[in-house]
């Protein structure tokens, strides 16, 4: 989304989301919730989407009580009708859609030989097909209104493999690939598509591994910063990729991992 910032652009304008409408999937989760808060505080009206009613109501109430424009929308990414309907409702409610954050994802940790077709299909339908269809629906609206921003949330598994996370890992590898494919196809429509790759962040999704002593020790041993990341630490990268500041950045992934992929703790 290009914005004429004038001859002396202010930092405020570079990073402002004033007047923008943002849709966030997985908005009730550990990271999505923080992204909702951050985008709202940067000026966007936010459509918070999640399959989990309880967390959705909670986050929507919190933002509305702080005076932000926020709507909560039940969304099941594994259901195409629900995906297209949710985008239609956001358009109906706010009159436009400028930003899509594809944040929802599910994981089930088990050895490849134990993965059933049901598990495989569930993970792919949410993490990959849901993200794909969400982006299709959003990009159609963005094209009509002259541009937009899509930020996909990847994973360290977009870059490397981990034992017992084969299907999740495959979907996250695909998210990075799709980020580039969408960026190419929609560049002429002024839609920038980028990816943020979180490292080991402390949230409900990753709680089981942080609570496991062996795995927790393994992770700390690989994080140069020697601590888990907090969801808030992803916010700067996400806001940058949603804001005018990144108008010439597309098809890229920003890794926010405390130094894991840079070499970890080294010796």
Ligand X SMILES: NC(=O)c1ccc[n+]([C@@H]2O[C@H](COP(=O)([O-])OP(=O)(O)OC[C@H]3O[C@@H](n4cnc5c(N)ncnc54)[C@H](O)[C@@H]3O)[C@@H](O)[C@H]2O)c1
Sorted by sequence, the CB contacts under 8 Å of residue 244 that are 6+ apart come out as 1, 2, 3, 5, 13, 14, 15, 16
What is d(CA 144, CA 96) in angstroms, rounded to the nearest whole number?
9
Q: How far is the CB of 84 from ligand X (least distance, A)?
A: 13
Q: How far is the CB of 99 from ligand X (least distance, A)?
A: 16
Angle at 157 between CA 155 and CA 160, to 5 degrees: 135
* Closest CB to ligand X among residues 50, 98: 50
Q: How far is the CB of 164 from ligand X (least distance, A)?
A: 15
What is d(CA 177, CA 171) in angstroms, rounded to the nearest whole number?
10
Binds ligand X (CB under 6 A): choice among 21, 23, 24, 28: 28
Binds ligand X (CB under 6 A): choice among 63, 71, 104, 241: 104
Binds ligand X (CB under 6 A): choice among 51, 183, 238, 243: 51
* Closest CB to ligand X among residues 158, 250: 158
Cα dihedral 118, 120, 126, 132 in deg (nearest 10): -130
What is d(CA 132, CA 127) in angstroms, rounded to the nearest whole number?
9
Q: Is 29 a binder of ligand X (CB under 6 A)?
A: yes
Q: How far is the CB of 3 from ligand X (least distance, A)?
A: 28
For residue 132, which phi and psi values (nearest 5 degrees)?
Answer: -65, -50
Q: Is 208 a binder of ligand X (CB under 6 A)?
A: no
What is d(CA 104, CA 30) in angstroms, rounded to the nearest whole number?
10
Q: Is 25 a binder of ligand X (CB under 6 A)?
A: yes
Neighbours of 10 (CB within 10 A): 10
* Closest CB to ligand X among residues 16, 107: 107
The token pair at 223 is 């994080």
Q: Is 106 a binder of ligand X (CB under 6 A)?
A: yes
Q: How many residues bind ligand X (CB under 6 A)?
A: 29
Sorted by sequence, the CB contacts under 8 Å of residue 105 that are 6+ apart come out as 26, 126, 127, 153, 155, 168, 171, 172, 205
Q: How far is the CB of 216 from ligand X (least distance, A)?
A: 12
* Closest CB to ligand X among residues 31, 138: 31
Catalytic residues: 168
Q: Where along the sequence are the contacts to ligand X (CB under 6 A)?
A: 25-26, 28-32, 50-52, 55, 75-78, 103-106, 126, 153, 155, 198, 200-201, 203-206
């Amino acid at each position: 989304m290009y914005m004429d910032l004038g001859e002396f652009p202010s930092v405020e304008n570079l990073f402002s989301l004033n007047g923008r409408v943002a849709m966030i999937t997985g908005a009730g989760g550990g990271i999505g919730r923080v992204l909702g808060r951050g985008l709202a505080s940067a000026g966007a009206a936010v459509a918070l989407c999640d399959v989990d009613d309880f967390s959705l109501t909670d986050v929507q109430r919190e933002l509305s009580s702080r005076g932000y424009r926020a709507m909560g929308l039940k969304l099941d990414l594994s259901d195409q009708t629900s995906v297209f309907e949710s985008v239609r409702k956001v358009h109906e409610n706010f009159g436009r859609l400028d930003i899509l954050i594809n944040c929802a994802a599910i994981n089930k940790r088990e050895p490849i030989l134990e993965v059933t077709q049901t598990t495989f299909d569930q993970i792919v339908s949410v993490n990959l097909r849901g993200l794909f269809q969400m982006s299709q629906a959003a990009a159609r609206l963005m094209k009509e209104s002259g541009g937009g921003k899509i930020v996909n949330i990847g994973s360290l598994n977009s870059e490397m493999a981990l034992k017992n996370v084969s299907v999740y890992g495959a979907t996250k590898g695909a998210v990075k690939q799709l980020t580039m494919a969408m960026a190419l196809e929609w560049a002429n429509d002024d839609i920038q598509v980028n990816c943020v790759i979180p490292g080991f962040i402390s949230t409900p999704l990753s709680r089981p591994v942080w609570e496991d002593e062996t795995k927790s020790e393994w992770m700390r041993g690989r994080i140069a910063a020697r601590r888990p990341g907090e969801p808030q630490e992803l916010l700067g990268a996400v806001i940058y990729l949603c804001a005018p500041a990144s108008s010439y950045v597309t098809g890229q992934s920003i890794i926010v991992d405390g130094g894991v992929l840079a070499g970890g703790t080294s010796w």
